[in-house]
A and B are shown apart, each in its own frame.
Chain A
Amino acid sequence: MTNFSRRNFLKAVGIGGAATVAGFGCAPNGRATASRNGHVVVVGGGSGGATAAKYLKRFSPDMDVTLIEPTATYHTCYGSNWVLGGHAQMDDIAQTYDALQSRHGVKVVQDSVTAIDPARRTVRTAGGETISYDRLVMSPGIDFRYDAVPGITEADSGRIPHAWKAGEQTVILRRQLEAMPDGGVFVMVAPGNPFRCPPGPYERASMVAHYFKQAKPRSKIIILDNKENFSKQGLFMAGWEQHYGDMIEWVPSSRGGQVEEIDAANLTAISDGGFNEFKADVLNYVPPQTAGKIAMDTGLAGDGFWCPVNQMTFESTIHPGIYVIGDSSVAGAMPKSGHSANNQAKVAAAAIIRELAGLDPVEPSTANTCYSLITPDHAISVAAVYAYKDGTMAGVEGAGGVSPADAPASVRQMEAVYTKGWYDGITADIWG
């Protein structure tokens, strides 16, 4: 009997799991009850967590699922570079939790998790609640290592935004770009690997260039990079030359791109022992990153910065019963992307349901695609399919890769159309 026919069976006898419980005037609340299928708590309602909550209910409608997320409105990082480019608004990248609650029966708690007790299987929230779980899914995203470079702290992020979590930070950076005079210099400091969204800094440079080209064409963009090469490099650089001439300058680590100090008061990045100084009109410092703070505090990263998991299931190798997905996890060859987080969430959801039913996990299969806009009508993509091999999620050989280097403008335009479609599709899959 498949899940599909089971759902029809439940419908036929008029029982809808949690919906029935709600019908008795009692919320599907895991705090007071444990349903036959168990109670799963999900920490974080971003790309990974919201998908996990939704697919736990989709795969197993009578499971109790509680999602804990502090914000009522989540702004996606995807599309946030389009806001910087001036052709999307903050409202266009805003997502809410209404459908997860009303359509999918997820209990959404607007609160923040402050502590997790893996032995007792409880989480504590800032609102003072203690919630117990049978299984926990953690998708808290990233945190920043402001201690990596002297001269700047998190307190400077109001003046020197990272804009690597979307929301207020995106708005600050956009305002600074708008206020910058023509002929100004935008300096972005890009982190070394691994970090959230490998093509992100280069799409950002493209979108800022798109804005400058129209509004302040004498301006300059400098990317100070803590690495020697980057995602879709050939395609980005060809696109930059085609559309923006020499407006964008990319500086690899070996040629002064490795920032060693920041003079925050003077918006200046310093490298090569003080030999190079890059003075900015707008400085966008994207610090190196770690797993989300609550994952670090729970010890899920061990001595490292990211959380090791059994990549067959995404269960922590440090704390059994806790599944870590998304940017916080170590996921083999999968990049830290929204698409990866979405796919990992489905693997974890299936593994949890099977485990609670006493079954072995099925072989996971995941994919990733990252579209990047170089102009609103010129997009490039990278894609891959991943399978579990020798203990890690590895790219399937012969598959995947980047858009062809010699594609005509019509293909770039088609990919730009699909970039938008991807956004609409994946946000519907996560929050719709």
Chain B
Amino acid sequence: MKCSRTLAAGIAVSMMALTYVPQAAADTTRGELLTSSCFACHSIDGTGNMPNLVGYPRDLLISQMKAFKDGSRVGTIMNRLARGYTEEEIVLMGDYFAKIQ
């Protein structure tokens, strides 16, 4: 498809005017990046058979990750993975999963 440079520039300018947000809005936070790693198995659209964590209750996610980490909940692979995260990181994940839809 052909797309003229001036038309595109015009659109870019009008988009800027309409949707101007401060630069900081273009960040990707640590919580977002950290949690995106989980989506490899816990797919964001619920595909597959790992529990879907989108919108998962924050405190439940935190308590379950801690339980996997200390071994009080037994999984196949989650114990090995949960031990890789600090308590602070687990809280970031809990916050992020609870927030997304």
Binding site for B on A (CB under 8 A): 1-4, 6, 9-10, 13, 15, 17, 20-21, 24, 26-27, 29, 31-37, 55, 59-60, 62, 339, 342-343, 346-347, 349-350, 353-354, 356-359, 362-367, 369, 381, 383-387, 396, 398-401, 403, 411, 414-415, 417-418, 420-429, 432
Contact = CB atoms under 8 A, between A and B. Distances in A.
Contacts of B33: 346-347, 350, 362, 364-365
Given A343-B40, A357-B24, A385-B84, 18 more contacts: A9-B19, A9-B21, A13-B18, A26-B3, A26-B7, A27-B1, A29-B1, A29-B3, A31-B3, A35-B15, A62-B15, A339-B40, A357-B27, A359-B27, A362-B29, A399-B80, A421-B48, A424-B47
Interface string B7-42: 111011001101101111111111011101111111
Nearest to B32: A3
A362 B49 contact: no
B1 A26 contact: yes
B49 A417 contact: yes
Contacts of A21: 8, 11, 15
Nearest to A427: B47
B1 A354 contact: no
B41 A33 contact: no
Contacts of A29: 1, 3
A6 B25 contact: yes
Given A26-B7, A350-B33, A432 B28 contact: no
Contact of A15 (B5, B18, B38, B48): B18
Contacts of B27: 3, 353-354, 357, 359
A55 B36 contact: yes
Nearest to A20: B15
19 contacts: A1-B21, A1-B24, A21-B8, A26-B3, A26-B11, A32-B4, A33-B11, A339-B40, A350-B32, A356-B26, A359-B23, A359-B26, A362-B28, A362-B33, A367-B40, A367-B84, A387-B84, A425-B40, A425-B48
Contact of A24 (B7, B48, B80): B7
A62 B19 contact: yes
Interface residues of chain B: helix, strand, loop or mixed (majority)? helix
A15 B100 CA distance: 20
Contacts of B40: 339, 342-343, 367, 369, 425-426, 429
Contact of A3 (B1, B29, B42): B29
B76 interface: yes
Contacts of B42: 425
Contact of B37 (A34, A349, A366): A366
A420 B48 CA distance: 8
B44 to A, nearest CB: 7
Contact of A32 (B3, B15, B48): B3
Contact of B19 (A10, A24, A55, A424): A10
B41 A36 contact: no
A399 B36 CA distance: 19
Contact of A428 (B5, B19, B32, B45): B45
Nearest to B93: A365
Interface of B: 1, 3-5, 7-9, 11-12, 15-16, 18-19, 21-30, 32-34, 36-45, 47-50, 76-77, 80-85, 89, 99-100
Given A3-B27, A425-B42, A15 B47 contact: no
A342 B18 CA distance: 34
Nearest to A354: B27
A44 to B, nearest CB: 18
B32 to A, nearest CB: 6
Nearest to A367: B37
Given A10-B19, A33-B9, A428-B48, A59 B28 contact: yes
A429 B43 contact: yes
Contact of A415 (B34, B76, B100): B76
A20 B18 CA distance: 12
Contacts of B30: 362-363, 365
A401 B23 CA distance: 41
B83 A399 contact: yes
A400 B43 contact: no
Contacts of A346: 33, 36-37
Contacts of A36: 12, 15-16
Most A CB atoms within 10 A — which of B34, B47, B76? B76
A387 B85 CA distance: 9
A401 B77 CA distance: 9
Contacts of A20: 11, 15
Contacts of A417: 49
A306 B88 CA distance: 35
Contact of A396 (B18, B36, B43, B84): B84
